[in-house]
Amino acid sequence: MDDSLIADRLCALGSETRLKIYRILVRAGHEGVPVSDLQRRTGIAMSTVSHHLHRLISVGLVYQQRDGTTLFCHANYKAMDETLGSLTKVCCIDAKASAEDAA
């Protein structure tokens, strides 16, 4: 995975408000959350919710689907796994290599 995309995704989550929105979406599961519910649950203005959603969508962490007149937001779990997996995949590699070299 491209380090630039990983950095962009982590940067997008670096906002307290975006992290709060993202947590709500992750916790909601695959059903997603209507935008109006995100606004109600966060207590921030709809224009601000839209601004933060746009940033999360632009880096691929969130996608939206319309059902009638309701716009649902969903966490992109594959993107989340790729982003966090890129970090956990290399966890302790240097420490393991040092231990093997010492043996």
Which 3 state secondary structure label does DSSP give 62?
Answer: strand
Q: Answer yes or no: is pLDDT of 71 > 70.
A: yes
Give the residue numbers spanning the domain of 13.
Answer: 3-102
| Predicted structure pTM score | 0.87
Q: Answer yes or no: is pLDDT of 102 > 70.
A: no
pLDDT at 40: 97
Tell me the CATH number at 70.
Answer: 1.10.10.10
Q: Answer yes or no: is pLDDT of 66 > 90.
A: yes
For residue 65, the cross-strand partners are 72
Report which of residues 95 and 71 the model is more confident about. Answer: 71
* Residue 60 neighbours by CB under 8 Å, 6+ apart: 5, 9, 76, 79
Q: How many structural domains comprise the chain?
A: 1
Alpha-carbon span 25 to 86, nearest angstrom? 21
- Going by C-alpha positions, the residue among 75, 90, 91 that lies closest to residue 1 is 90
Mean pLDDT value of segment 5-32? 97
pLDDT in tens, 25-62: 999 999 999 999 999 999 999 999 999 999 999 999 99
